[in-house]
Amino acid sequence: MRRIRAVIFDLWETLIDWDQAAAATMLDKVRALAGEEFHARWSSSQTRYTAPVRTALAEAGVPAELMDEVCGVRLEYVRHCLVPRPGAVDTLRRLREDGYRVGLITVCSEDVETLWPESEFAGLFDAEVFSNAVALTKPDPRIYLHCCELLGVEPHEAVFVGDGANDELAGARRVGMDAILIHRPGEDPPWPELAQWNGPRVTSIPGVLEVLER
């Protein structure tokens, strides 16, 4: 991948684990506060990824008097999750030392953006695109193009690394980027459409360095 000048990462299940047990615990806590109907509304909410979290929570039925408490439960969960996978920090540093521009595109709630500055990821990226902040999600072409623009590269000069949620790998290719699939070692990719994935794949973040050297 000699022409590549920028590496753009997904967040969940790429740079960090999505802890499903912790997510379930968090949702149970919120449901206990906000009621059963909340859960159904929240599960089908797209606003949670494209608007301020308080706006999305209010739309899903969280009353104003419970908002601070619910937000606190969510922040506690995201803080628990926002921990780099092994080798991620070193790889991000190495990429920049090697002259690559490094970006992030994540479909997330505002909690991630709120906690980002206190996470180990702070300062390791040249551009971070949080879906809630730009009101766009993957695989909308505009979210990839926006990140490339922030990085000062053309899409064909960038490679996207992700687990494939939100059709994000195909989405990256549609705008002219290369794409690298990451999945857990010893497991198949969790998304059926990736069973036939014909591009490069890695099972750890440091593996990205080897793919770039090919």
Residues in contact with Mg ion by CB under 5 A are: 10, 12-13, 163, 165
Q: Which has the closest alpha carbon to 110: 130, 125, 137?
A: 130
Kindly state the smallest distance separating residue 23's Cβ from Mg ion, in Å: 13
Smaller CB separation from Mg ion, 58 or 133: 133
Q: Counting Cβ atoms within 10 Å, is residue 119 exposed (0-12), middle (13-18) or buried (19+)?
A: middle
Cα 132 from Cα 85, distance rounded (Å): 23
Smaller CB separation from Mg ion, 76 or 167: 167
Cα 125 from Cα 151, distance rounded (Å): 10
Cα 23 from Cα 26, distance rounded (Å): 5
Smaller CB separation from Mg ion, 51 or 165: 165
Kindly state the smallest distance separating residue 138's Cβ from Mg ion, in Å: 9
The helix (run of H) or strand (run of E) holding residue 94 is helix 88-97
Smaller CB separation from Mg ion, 54 or 85: 85
Kindly state the smallest distance separating residue 16's Cβ from Mg ion, in Å: 9
Kindly state the smallest distance separating residue 58's Cβ from Mg ion, in Å: 26
What residues does 130 pair with on adjacent strands? 106
